[in-house]
Structure 1
Amino acid sequence: MAKKKQKQTISIGSVIITLLVMLVLYFQSQGEYKKCYVVDIIDGDTIKVNLAGEEYKVRLIGVNTPETKHPTKRVEPYGPEAKAYTKKILTGRTVYLEFDVQEKDRYGRLLAYVWLEKPEQITDEEIRTKMFNAILLLEGYAQVMTVQPNVKYVDRFLQYQREAMENQRGLWGLSIYQKNKSAKRK
């Protein structure tokens, strides 16, 4: 009986140690930034990077730019401008990827926040000036699009979109969005 109890204790102890190691590894990976090089722009919110010698498609978390290359949709208003802006800012640049809870989407693309410079602290100012996802929203090239469980910056992103809308930046200055905005006020 004592041996059986000892085996149960060892099994439970092993499980606890395994869980603790997993938690430590998980929290260590949070806040990590993967340095990579942007080799191509697929769309306003999708890029191709070289990360540790391998090429990956990266879908920017939390934002959605109008389409330019969707297989079943036409080119959407302000899509070419969003893609050109992304190309101008990111092509040939070293950036830092920050992952959220889910590292890849169902299409095998990496899901990331793209930092132009590695942040020193996560402050509103650093997000506004160094995170490309946020810059797309602030400049009006994208709308907020959240997909659970990757929602780390959703509150800030909603604020940045509101600011772009209020200032009629980018796509928010287009007449189709102005009509919708004025119709909602009535």
Structure 2
Amino acid sequence: MSPEIRLKKNPLAIKRSLVETLLTLAVVAIVIGGYLQSRTKDLQTFELKYTQLEATGQLLYADTKLDSTTFEKATVISITDGDTIKIRRADDTEADIRYIGIDTPEIKHQEAGTDEPYGPQAAAFNSWLVLNKGVYIQKDTAETDKYGRLLRYVYLENGIMVNYALIRQGYATILTVPPNVAFQQQLYSAQELARNEGLGLFKPE
């Protein structure tokens, strides 16, 4: 019977492997910690500015009662980016909604493959406002865009227009595409206020 051969592990190799593992874990912890800290700071910024605007009457409210004669009630089930959401309607069907009159920076731009400046912040603010919440959606003139998404103004249950709030806090710019121009002037005014205050996309370099 051949004697059993036991291979001894190199202590230096074990130590080196352990050090590499610990360093990897440390880097991951730093990255996650930095992300969470940045995320928390963003949310605090969203809430502080939004609360200030709401308290001083600087947000746009629905000009009619939120009822089924003018609006459709829905629930936001996911966020695509700063200006696109997915909703569940009363009949339990789902639909993609593109906010009318605004444009936000893209996440993972198709050509560049990277986030555009303020793209993640716009998406995060949009999520903070509407994700998993009931909203009211309102049609203008055109029903859908070329991608088949419903074109709508979206309102929170307290009547605040989300399209306007995104521009007013500097996370979107105005994008007018006729014939959907019912709130063009109000959205333009929101953009000028955000620009004058140097918010978000309009922050001085």
- The superposition leaves residues 46-87 of structure 1 with CA deviations (integer Å, 9 ceiling, x where unpaired) of 000001211111000000001114433442100010001111
Distance 2:183 2:161 in 1: 11
Q: 2:86, 2:95 within 8 Å by CA — same for their partners in 1?
A: yes
Give the structure 2 partner of residue 48 of structure 1: 86
Percent identical among aligned pairs is 41
Q: 1:35, 1:97 within 8 Å by CA — same for their partners in 2?
A: yes
Q: Return 5+ residue gaps in structure 2 as ranges.
A: 1-68
Say which structure is richer in helix: 1
Q: Per-residue deviation at 1:99?
A: 0.5
Give the structure 1 partner of residue 139 of structure 2: 99
Runs of 4+ in 1 over 4 A off after TM superposition: none
Q: Which amino acid aligns with 2:121?
A: E
Structure 2 residue 168 is matched with structure 1 residue 138: yes
Cα RMSD between the aligned structures? 1.6
- The superposition leaves residues 73-111 of structure 1 with CA deviations (integer Å, 9 ceiling, x where unpaired) of 442100010001111111100000000001111111000
- The superposition leaves residues 102-149 of structure 1 with CA deviations (integer Å, 9 ceiling, x where unpaired) of 111111100000000264xxxxxxxxxx00000001100000001111
Q: Return 5+ residue gaps in structure 1 as ranges.
A: 1-30, 120-129, 176-186
Give the structure 2 partner of residue 66 of structure 1: 105
Distance 2:194 2:158 in 1: 24
Q: Which amino acid aligns with 1:103?
A: E
> SS of the counterpart of 2:76?
strand
Change (3 A) 1:69 1:50: farther
Q: Which amino acid aligns with 2:138?
A: E
Distance 1:59 1:70 in 2: 17
Q: 2:174, 2:187 within 8 Å by CA — same for their partners in 1?
A: yes
TM-score by length of structure 1 reads: 0.69
Q: 1:45, 1:63 within 8 Å by CA — same for their partners in 2?
A: yes
Distance 2:105 2:172 in 1: 7
Distance 2:109 2:199 in 1: 24
Counterpart among 70, 76, 81 of residue 38 in structure 1: 76
TM-score by length of structure 2 reads: 0.63
Give the structure 2 partner of residue 82 of structure 1: 122
> SS of the counterpart of 1:43?
coil
Distance 2:108 2:124 in 1: 13
Distance 2:108 2:166 in 1: 18
Q: 2:108, 2:116 within 8 Å by CA — same for their partners in 1?
A: no
